[in-house]
């Protein structure tokens, strides 16, 4: 046996826990009966349980029956995934438009959103004659930094968040990017990561608005699309890579090179999750059932957001909490400082990120009042001026 001191790995230091997944580990290890997980990036039911869409259960049963009847199998998918899934996911995200109908969008199935980001980052690094420089919003997910830095990109940040108003800092954002117009003028390439279509408002069309705004500009662009959240298929790792090109002939060339990247990275994508999404999107009734379920899920999050806001107002909690109503989607940046977040966990057994972000799906009718009291206590015990910002 090799002496540990002379191990190939002796120079390695233990990496820090993932800031999001590490919260889940700590939560599970806590035996306290009133503990609350507000760090999870997955939807939870009113009972705090993981949720599987009923329409997904229905399709799962179909697939199981077909597998037992030997009418489907477990063979490899093509490198770029289920062929029918391309047009279905394009129409879901981009709508019924010229780019889709003219076959100007190069698409491939990916290993959820993170896999889509990695594939696109690698594709850009290898094939495109452009500066390896990317602007990421501040804040953003840590995986964005890791993925692009590992592919040799220089990373710059643009302002996104106003810590005082706890809303999007639209003036600084516009001054840096001026969104579509400046991106066109400076010949930047839009790269959009869409993981929550339907979760923000409950309306798939409305939540696709930003992507379609860029599409209408006529620019070529990259999009990473995930179905982990809006189908509840977290563990199935189903997503899509989309590249909007200037012509269908270019799109074909792009796809041929994209396949080379995928082949050397993971060969071909997982089959099961893709089959579920393909079945639902290709059947009018199943798709309608899914949309209704998604709307109900988004509606519960809106209700929890409102209840938390009203509870804080009732407690006369110091500070302005209007941002809870102005924000939308599964998450909320509460504005709590790292010290206040520490107290939320140590004293109240409420687990959340140190930047004050909470997942509203972890709040329910049984614990919203408890969470509000915890926030109230932390704000009063550790005033903002005394805490580490």
Longest dimension (CA), the chain: 66
Do residues 276 and 295 both lie within one domain?
no
**Residues 241-284: tens digit of each pLDDT:** 999 999 999 999 999 999 999 999 999 999 999 999 999 999 99
Mean local confidence (pLDDT), 229-252: 98
Q: Is residue 210 part of a domain?
A: yes
**Residues 114-165: tens digit of each pLDDT:** 999 999 999 999 999 988 999 898 888 889 999 999 999 999 988 777 777 6
Do residues 260 and 278 both lie within one domain?
yes
The catalytic residues are: 141, 193, 229
Q: Is residue 347 part of a domain?
A: yes
Do residues 298 and 325 both lie within one domain?
yes
Residue 177: what pLDDT? Answer: 54
Do residues 196 and 48 both lie within one domain?
no
Q: How many residues does the chain have?
A: 389
Single out the residue in 283, 298, 324 at which a domain terminates.
283
**Do 76 and 269 contact (CB within 8 A), yes or no?**
no
Q: Name the 3-class secondary structure at 194.
A: strand
Single out the residue in 252, 283, 314 at which a domain terminates.
283
Do residues 234 and 336 both lie within one domain?
no
Do residues 278 and 143 both lie within one domain?
yes
φ, ψ (nearest 5 deg) of residue 162: -100, 110
Q: What is the pTM of this model?
A: 0.91
Interatomic CA distance for residues 204 and 223, integer angstroms: 16
Residue 51 is encoded by which pair of tokens? Answer: 């949720």
Single out the residue in 283, 300, 326 at which a domain terminates.
283
Do residues 48 and 59 both lie within one domain?
no
**Residues 157-198: tens digit of each pLDDT:** 887 777 776 776 666 666 555 566 777 777 788 999 999 999
Alpha helices (runs of H) in 130-247, residue ranges in sequence order: 142-150, 170-177, 179-185, 204-207, 209-216
Sign of CA dihedral 226, 228, 229, 231: positive
Q: Name the 3-class secondary structure at 283.
A: coil
Count of other CB atoms within 10 angstroms of residue 303 = 16
Q: Name the 3-class secondary structure at 263.
A: helix
Q: What is the CATH number of the domain that holds 25?
A: 3.90.1150.10
Domain enclosing residue 293, as ranges: 16-52+289-381
């Amino acid at each position: 046996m090799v002496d540990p001191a002379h191990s190939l790995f002796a120079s390695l230091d233990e990496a820090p826990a993932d800031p999001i997944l590490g919260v889940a580990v700590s939560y599970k290890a806590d035996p306290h009966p009133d503990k609350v997980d507000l760090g999870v990036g997955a939807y939870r039911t009113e009972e705090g349980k993981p949720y599987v869409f009923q329409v997904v259960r229905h399709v799962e049963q179909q697939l199981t029956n077909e597998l037992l009847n030997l009418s489907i199998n477990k063979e490899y998918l093509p490198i770029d995934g289920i062929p029918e899934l391309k047009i279905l996911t394009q129409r879901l995200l981009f709508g019924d438009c010229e780019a889709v109908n003219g076959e100007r969008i190069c698409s491939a199935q990916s290993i959820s959103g993170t896999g889509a980001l990695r594939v696109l980052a690698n594709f850009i690094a290898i094939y495109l004659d452009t500066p390896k420089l990317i602007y990421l919003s501040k804040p953003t997910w840590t995986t964005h930094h890791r993925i692009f830095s590992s592919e040799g990109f220089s990373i710059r940040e643009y302002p996104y968040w106003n810590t005082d108003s706890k809303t999007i800092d639209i003036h600084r954002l516009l001054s840096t990017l001026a969104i579509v117009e400046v991106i066109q003028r400076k010949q930047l390439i839009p790269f959009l990561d869409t993981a929550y279509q339907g979760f923000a408002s409950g309306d798939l069309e409305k939540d696709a608005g930003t992507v379609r705004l860029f599409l209408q500009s006529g620019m070529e662009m990259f999009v990473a699309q995930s179905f982990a959240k809006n189908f509840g298929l977290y563990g199935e790792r189903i997503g899509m890579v989309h590249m909007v090109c200037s012509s269908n002939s270019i799109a074909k060339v792009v796809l041929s090179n994209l396949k080379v990247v995928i082949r050397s990275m993971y060969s071909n994508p997982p089959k099961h999750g893709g089959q579920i999404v393909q079945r639902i999107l290709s059947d009018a009734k199943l798709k309608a059932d899914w949309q209704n379920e998604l709307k109900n899920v988004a509606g519960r999050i809106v209700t929890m957001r409102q209840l938390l806001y009203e509870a804080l107002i009732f407690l006369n909690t110091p500070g302005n909490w209007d941002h809870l109503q102005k924000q939308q989607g599964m998450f909320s940046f509460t504005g709590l400082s790292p010290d206040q977040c520490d107290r939320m966990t140590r004293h109240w057994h409420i687990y959340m990120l140190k930047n004050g972000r909470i997942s509203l799906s972890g709040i329910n009718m049984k614990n919203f009042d408890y969470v509000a009291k915890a926030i109230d206590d932390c704000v009063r015990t550790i005033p903002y001026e005394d805490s580490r910002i």
